Amino acid sequence: MTASATARAVLDAVVDPEIPVLTIADLGVLRDVQEIDGHVEVTITPTYSGCPAMDAIRADIVAALRGAGYGDVAVRTVLSPAWTTDWMTDDGRRKLAESGIAPPGQRGPGPVLLELGIRCPLCGSTDTRLSSRFGSTACKALRVCNACREPFDHFKSI
């Protein structure tokens, strides 16, 4: 294992502070890891412009790497290319569904809103309706299942 792969393995264990079933790698927030002579530079991108978790993610990255012996760490935040839910890993989507949050669908081209056939993570029915476009965090919408009547969070496509 190269040194850079070791740092990468450490970062693969850093979880999202708001949805801790996902790692920042699952989310696609972790964009790049470079290591040169013990200096580690980590590149991350925010999910939403105003995502309040970014400061916590930055601090968690530094703490995780320090814990693994990397003293010289820089975390760089980039906006471009803009984050999209298409970057979420299949593993991440599975973990979301298992924790009761409907994963995002694949996005069409352009900033269009097309959200069809969203499956209830509790009973599996696709007969669900939108309750509110904005949920407990910026990245989620609230939906209700017409079959089992339970409300659930949906990680919306962006």
Partner 1 sequence: MTPADAPPPVATYALRLGDDALVLAQRLSEWAAKAPELEEDVALTNIGLDLLGQARSLLAYAGETVGGPGGQARTEDDLAFLRGEREFLNCQLVEQPGGDFATTIARQLLFSAYQYELYLALQDSRNDTLAAVAAKAVKEVSYHRDHATQWTLRLGDGTEESHRRMQDGLDALWPYTAELFEVDDLLRALVGDGVAADPERLRPAWASYLEPVLVEATLDVPETSRAPSGGRRGVHTETLGYLLAEMQYLHRCHPGATW
Q: Give contact residues for partner 1 (rule: CB under 8 A).
A: 46, 48-52, 78-84, 111-113, 131-138, 142, 156, 158
**Minimum distance, C-beta of residue 111 to partner 1, in the bound complex (Å):** 5
Backbone angles phi and psi of 109, in degrees to 5: -70, 145
Strand partners, 36: 39
Please say which residue, 108 or 124, places its beta carbon nearer to partner 1: 108
Please say which residue, 125 or 134, places its beta carbon nearer to partner 1: 134
Kindly tell me the burial class for residue 109, based on how many C-beta atoms sit within 10 Å of its own C-beta (0-12, 13-18, 19 or more): exposed
Please say which residue, 41 or 151, places its beta carbon nearer to partner 1: 151
Indicate the Cα dihedral angle 24, 27, 29, 32, nearest 10°.
Answer: 80
**Minimum distance, C-beta of residue 121 to partner 1, in the bound complex (Å):** 20
Q: Report d(CA 77, CA 71) in Å as an integer.
A: 19
Please say which residue, 71 or 81, places its beta carbon nearer to partner 1: 81
**Minimum distance, C-beta of residue 51 to partner 1, in the bound complex (Å):** 7
